[in-house]
A = this chain, B = another copy of it.
Amino acid sequence: MTRMSTAHGARARARIEVTAAIKDEARRQLAADGAARLSLRAVARELGMVSSALYRYFPSRDDLLTALIIDAYDSLGEAAEAAHDAAAGSGPLQRWIAVCEAVRRWALGHPHEYALIYGSPVPGYTAPDTTVPAAARVGLLLIGVVRDAYRGLGLARPSLPADLRPEAERMAADLAPDLPPEVVTVLVAAWAQLYGLVGFELFGQFNRVVEDREVFFRYAVGQLAHGVGLVYPQRGPAAKSPGPHND
The answer to whether A245 and B229 have CB atoms under 8 Å apart is: yes
Cβ-based interface call for A177 (8 A):
no
Cβ-based interface call for A192 (8 A):
yes
A115 partner residues in chain B, CB cutoff 8 A: 119-121
Q: Closest chain B residue to A119 by CB distance?
A: B120
Contacts A205-B192, A227-B223 given; does A215 touch B124 at CB 8 Å: no
Copies of this chain, complex-wide, total: 2
- Per the bound structure, the CA–CA distance linking A186 and B188 in Å amounts to 19
Cβ-based interface call for A199 (8 A):
yes
- Produce 1/0 per residue, A205-247, CB < 8 A to B: 1101111100110111011101101010101111011111111
The answer to whether A124 and B159 have CB atoms under 8 Å apart is: no
Partner of A244, one of B127, B204, B218, B227: B227
The answer to whether B36 and A123 have CB atoms under 8 Å apart is: yes
A166 partner residues in chain B, CB cutoff 8 A: 212
- Per the bound structure, the CA–CA distance linking A49 and B232 in Å amounts to 62
Cβ-based interface call for A118 (8 A):
yes
- Per the bound structure, the CA–CA distance linking A236 and B164 in Å amounts to 11
By size class, the interface of chain A is 35 or more
A226 partner residues in chain B, CB cutoff 8 A: 245
A116 partner residues in chain B, CB cutoff 8 A: 120
A121 partner residues in chain B, CB cutoff 8 A: 115, 203-204
The answer to whether B159 and A240 have CB atoms under 8 Å apart is: yes
A63 to chain B, nearest CB (A): 17
The answer to whether B244 and A186 have CB atoms under 8 Å apart is: yes
- Per the bound structure, the CA–CA distance linking A205 and B220 in Å amounts to 21
**Residues of chain A having any CB pair with chain B under 8 Å:** 33-37, 115-116, 118-124, 126-127, 132, 135, 156-164, 166-167, 170-171, 174-175, 185-186, 188-189, 191-197, 199-201, 203-206, 208-212, 215-216, 218-220, 222-224, 226-227, 229, 231, 233, 235-238, 240-247
